[in-house]
Homo-oligomer: A and B are copies of this chain.
């Protein structure tokens, strides 16, 4: 398929992809595939006002009815899965299976949110006073700004949108400037769902396209109480305090520097498979990509040898091609950063396998994935580089391995490969991994939507997706109702006049 055919199959019209000021390039070959219209920053107040108006209507629509919108969205996504997946491949450079997997994640969260729409459970609580009833209810919060990154150009939006909409919150989406096309295509799918739904308020889901001025309008507006921002720690470190300063609620999903501990008892073949997928999948551009390998000294050399061999066998190239496992980096700047980091690591004593630019498709930024054996956990290792670099460290005791795992500023995902239950449990205990995600015998990436997704420290502390992450999109209210004819005070206080 040509790029144009892919765009057309995904429902993008000529008017949508031409005449705009934002040039969109495909990482596959660096070709400009569209010029998209940007939102005028001056329009942001009206957009936010429309969202507020939609909120006032949407918050009183019964949640199961709101869920029906998401059910329809799920149906439309199922119908458009192949085309949207292909567009993800075109615009983000993911291999086909991963592009489809991303759409599947959208579908999964819709299913989850539909069920949630008949729950949104608060609590009834025993009151200490006679003829009093206590309860805690969860109410819609207001417009939710979603700032998403290029590497999950549509799934992250859907995680937020499915929950926010079921929770009664309108959505304003600012996608990465690198991936507006998948956003436009997703909005069209959403619009089909809205049309079938029938009576949703205008402005319930809006898309804004553009640069920092657009994002800042969301971040600084008191009328957008929730800002869910996914991206770099640098970005989040600016957004978080700004949102806090105007009494908003940030939901931050920022950088990870995810490690795997491989213990002596590990199933090494399984570990190799998990390492390769999580370190080089999406060309190392997942927030949960494996970036550090902490291997027991007794098996480290064997493991590196196996990995080096596996790495050498991985097909690099056009992500649309069957068989390709490593597609392009998002752009050449990304490739340059990768090569620079590798150079720094080498200067710090790192022994590098792979990690070179590859001429796969003209115009694309292709690289071979890097394995870098490090003498210690240096500052370079402590930094997140959004590319397929895997640093390898050795360890002697589990305590040492856990300390290495935790000794980075990020806290997203982590894992251990071991068949020893004492090691596995210790890793998951209060004295184990300090990350928001900690797995056993699976890699750090590829979370299911049923669990809460996010992490601690510089990862930002936000949670999205499953469990009770939905509470992040609502306000909690504690109610006490006195249905008696007297007025007893709590804590036995007396105040009679």
Contacts and interface: CB of A to CB of B under 8 A. Distances in A.
Contacts of A124: 121-124, 135-138
A441 interface: yes
Given A250-B244, A421-B440, A451 B134 contact: yes
A479 B449 contact: no
Given A59-B430, A419-B421, A420-B419, A446 B493 contact: yes
A122 B123 contact: yes
Interface of A: 56, 59-65, 67, 71, 97-98, 100-102, 104-105, 108, 111-140, 168, 237, 240-245, 247, 249-250, 267, 270, 273-274, 276-277, 281, 310, 313-314, 325, 418-422, 424-426, 428-431, 433-442, 446-453, 456-458, 460-461, 463, 466-467, 475-487, 489-495, 497
Nearest to A248: B461
A126 B478 CA distance: 16
Contacts of A131: 60, 425, 429
Nearest to A123: B121
A244 B241 contact: yes
A170 to B, nearest CB: 14
B118 A118 contact: no
The A interface, classified by DSSP as helix, strand, loop or mixed, is: mixed
B421 A310 contact: no
Nearest to A313: B497
Contacts of A451: 125, 134, 136, 478, 480
A273 to B, nearest CB: 5
B123 A118 contact: no
Contact of A436 (B419, B441, B442, B478): B478
A438 to B, nearest CB: 5
Contacts of A424: 421, 481, 483
Given A101-B492, A442-B132, A491-B101, A467 B125 contact: yes
19 contacts: A62-B128, A63-B127, A98-B495, A101-B489, A101-B491, A104-B491, A112-B118, A119-B125, A122-B124, A125-B466, A128-B450, A247-B460, A273-B487, A277-B487, A419-B422, A421-B440, A440-B481, A442-B480, A456-B475
Contacts of A325: 495, 497
A237 B243 CA distance: 11
B493 A139 contact: no
